[in-house]
């Protein structure tokens, strides 16, 4: 979702400025975004410990 939101925002900026949407997918450009997306996901999951534990209980990892 983070990637989709980011790419739509970038493309929207290009189109609004009258430029052709040309998104740079090089790792040097994506790396800061990926770090931010992972940090945001971690902050959201940190508050959902019960959901995570229930998910692990349903996997075969905890039954092995």
User: Does residue 21 register a pLDDT over 70?
Assistant: yes
User: Does residue 38 register a pLDDT over 70?
Assistant: yes
User: Does residue 62 register a pLDDT over 70?
Assistant: no
Q: What is the pLDDT of residue 58?
A: 82
Contact 23, 7 (CB under 8 A): yes
Question: To 10 degrees, the CA torsion angle through 51, 54, 60, 64?
Answer: 120
């Amino acid at each position: 979702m983070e990637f989709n939101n980011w790419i739509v925002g970038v493309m929207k900026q290009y189109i609004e400025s009258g430029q052709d949407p040309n998104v740079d997918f090089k790792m040097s450009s994506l790396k800061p975004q990926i770090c931010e997306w992972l940090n945001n996901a971690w902050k959201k999951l940190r508050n959902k410990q019960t959901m995570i534990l229930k998910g692990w209980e349903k996997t075969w990892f905890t039954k092995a």
